[in-house]
A = this chain, B = another copy of it.
Amino acid sequence: MDLKIELKKRADFFNKQLEKFLQGGSPETLYNAMRHLPLAGGKRLRPVLSMISCEAVNGDVVKVIPLSIACELAHNFTLVHDDIMDKSKMRRGLPSVHIKYGESTALIAGDLLFDKAFESMHKTTGDLNIFKNVEYGLIDCIREISEGQQLDMEFEKRKIVSEEEYFEMIRKKTAVFFQYAAEAGAILGGANSEQSNALSQYGLNLGLGFQVWDDYLDVSSNLETLGKDIGNDIRNGKKTLIACHCLKNAKGEDKKILDKIFGNLYANDEQVKNIYNLFRKTGSAEYAKDKAINFANNAKKALNILPDSDAKQLLASLADYSINRNK
């Protein structure tokens, strides 16, 4: 079983459903702006996760289509608004929505994506109590993502952020959505509570592992391929796990350099490289790597109580992939 092929198979199926759902609408400019990002591709991790989670409890994948579309649209709504806030010019290889359509239309397009997520959710069939619970989960999830986004911004302005605070932030900003997609997919697939809890824990740990591995990747890449992002993150004082660890553990001269350059918008490339090297010297990069591996292992452990199946194996492979990928 090849993970990439299996993921792609589901993403392709999902994309067809998504395209169908997003057809039409007037005024056209607004609807084109609304479709721009969701139809620009992407890994579709959240919807695919909800599908595999449903399969893992022997559920009918057709039942999670409305949920899977809702997850992707809600995710895209947060990206469209994030890009406005961060003034990001590109996303998925295309101009971001506010660059192409202007900030006002992008803002409304984001709101409309939020709204369409709930419109999709309402296509859920079956027991109404289950529908209501699953929909409430999405409401709760978006609340936590909003809180996480605010924390992320506030942390940039703070000198020190504890590891505990960092994990709370990425849990809210990133991991709860993986947790929700996996758990809700299982519930709509007919999971018992032991199974849905297991998949909830799987999703949470997968999400945390993905995010921490992203932090690690940025710093472990070759100096030559050092992207603009990591430079910006250092200049903005972005509190990744690696930064939090380094800020806590750097001593003496290292600490002085860190205090001077980290979060300094006017730092030059040479200074940024020094911080980058410091992240490795203090063992902060390795520390993050170990944490990510730990999360992936916890994700796999959570799967133990599930019956053996291709889907279960796929979820385990996805956890492995989360800490073996190099982009």
Residue of B nearest to A169 (CB): B27
B147 touches A26 (CB 8 A): yes
Q: Is the CB of A119 within 8 A of B143?
A: yes
Number of copies: 2
Q: Quick check: A153 and B104 within 8 Å, CB to CB?
A: yes
Q: Judge if A5 is at the interface, Cβ distance under 8 Å.
A: no
Mask of A118-147 contacts with B, CB within 8 angstroms, 1/0? 110010000011011001100110110011
Q: Which residue of B lies closest to A142 (CB)?
A: B115
A6 located at the interface, meaning its Cβ lies under 8 Å from any Cβ of chain B in the complex: no
Q: Is A233's CB within 8 Å of the partner chain B?
A: no
Contacts A122-B136, A128-B132; is A29 near B143 (CB within 8 Å)? Answer: no
Interchain CB contact under 8 A, B151 and A27 = yes
| A282, CB-defined interface residue at 8 Å | no
Report chain B residues within 8 Å CB of A149. 108
In chain B, what residue has the closest Cβ to A25? B147
Please give the number of chain A residues whose Cβ is less than 8 angstroms from any Cβ of chain B in the complex: 40
Q: What is the chain B residue whose CB lies nearest that of A103?
A: B85
**A154 near B85: Cβ-Cβ < 8 Å:** no
* Contact status of A84 and B105, CB under 8 A, knowing A27-B147, A147-B30: no
Contact A111 B142 (CB under 8 A): yes
Q: Are B122 and A143 in contact (CB under 8 A)?
A: no
B119 touching A139, Cβ below 8 Å: yes
Closest residue of B by beta carbon distance from A154: B27
Residues of B within 8 A of A150 (CB): 27, 29-30, 105, 108
Return chain B residues, CB-CB under 8 Å to A143.
112, 115-116, 119
A45 within 8 Å of B by Cβ? no
Q: Mark A76-91, 1 if CB is under 8 A from B, else 0.
A: 0100010011000000
Q: Is A99 an interface residue (CB 8 A)?
A: no
CB pair A107–B85 under 8 Å, yes or no, is yes
A interface with B by C-beta (< 8 Å): 25-27, 29-30, 77, 81, 84-85, 103-105, 107-108, 110-112, 114-116, 118-119, 122, 128-129, 131-132, 135-136, 139-140, 142-143, 146-147, 149-151, 153-154
